[in-house]
């Protein structure tokens, strides 16, 4: 996609536009849109762009894992059969199994006891009410203050600063970009074609 040209087409009907919103509507990475804006700014007067900082919540790598697979405690709970499971087997579940056991114990979802062979056996204590943590990550932008705080403590989400641009049509706006030339050549003068070019100042 020719991002600069696409931005000009959008600006022709709507001005100003928000770079973050445009990135989402075009299904593009925000930095690709920012690159397109910077390209347009090289042509004097074509567009005006005002930057501002915006803080957004984003998933950490661990948060992405939980969104895809479920919270560590819910994954642990779901893996336990009715008769229980030896702790060493449960630890093979994922790299987050130990944390999952800790969280599931705190939530009183599971119990740990030792069998005759002195092996820790993990059993379900009560039916799970569901995976609230994964559900919270699915509604990331609509979290309550306490939910945000809990997810930050668990390092599942983090605040991310983004420079967003409000882009509007400039005084020399056109949807047809004219390549600016650096030098006036003798050919341009002799043929009169120099009149068709814009020159960098």
Rg (CA), the chain: 28
- The model's pLDDT over 132-189, given as tens digits with 9 standing for 90+, comes to 999 999 998 789 999 999 999 999 999 988 899 999 999 988 887 665 545 566 665 5
How much is the pLDDT for 193?
53
CB contact at 8 A, 132 and 146: no
State the pLDDT confidence band at 194, using cuts at 50, 70 and 90. Answer: very low
CA atoms of 170 and 48, how far apart (whole Å):
5
Q: Minimal CA–CA distance to 72: which of 145, 8, 13, 156?
A: 156
CA atoms of 71 and 63, how far apart (whole Å):
9
CA atoms of 140 and 123, how far apart (whole Å):
32
CA atoms of 52 and 11, how far apart (whole Å):
19
H-type alpha helices, 14-155: 19-25, 30-41, 61-69, 72-79, 87-91, 97-106, 132-138, 145-153
Neighbour count for residue 57 (Cβ, 10 Å): 16
Q: Which residues of 85-108 are buried (b: 16+ CB within 10 A; e: fewer)?
A: bebeebbebbebbebbbebbbebe
CB contact at 8 A, 188 and 194: yes
CA atoms of 11 and 36, how far apart (whole Å):
13
Q: What is the pTM for the complete model shown?
A: 0.61
Lowest mean pLDDT across 30-39, 58-67, 184-193: 184-193
How much is the pLDDT for 126?
80
């Amino acid at each position: 996609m020719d991002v600069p040209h696409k931005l000009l087409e959008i600006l022709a009907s709507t001005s100003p536009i928000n770079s973050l919103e445009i990135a989402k509507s075009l299904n593009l990475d925000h930095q690709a849109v920012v690159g397109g804006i910077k390209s347009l700014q090289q042509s004097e007067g074509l567009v005006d762009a005002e930057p501002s900082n915006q803080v957004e919540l984003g998933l950490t790598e661990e948060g992405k894992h939980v969104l895809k697979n479920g919270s560590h405690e819910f994954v642990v709970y779901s893996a336990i059969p009715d008769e229980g499971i030896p702790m060493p087997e449960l630890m093979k579940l994922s790299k987050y199994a130990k944390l999952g056991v800790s969280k599931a114990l705190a939530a009183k979802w599971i119990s740990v006891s030792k069998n005759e062979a002195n092996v820790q056996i993990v059993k379900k204590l009560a039916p799970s009410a569901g995976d609230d943590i994964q559900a919270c990550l699915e509604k990331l932008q609509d979290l309550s203050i306490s939910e945000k705080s809990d997810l930050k403590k668990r390092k599942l989400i983090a605040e991310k600063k983004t420079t967003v641009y409000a882009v509007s049509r400039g005084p020399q706006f056109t949807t047809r970009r004219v390549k600016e030339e650096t030098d006036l050549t003798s050919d341009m003068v002799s043929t009169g074609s120099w009149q068709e070019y814009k020159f960098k100042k």
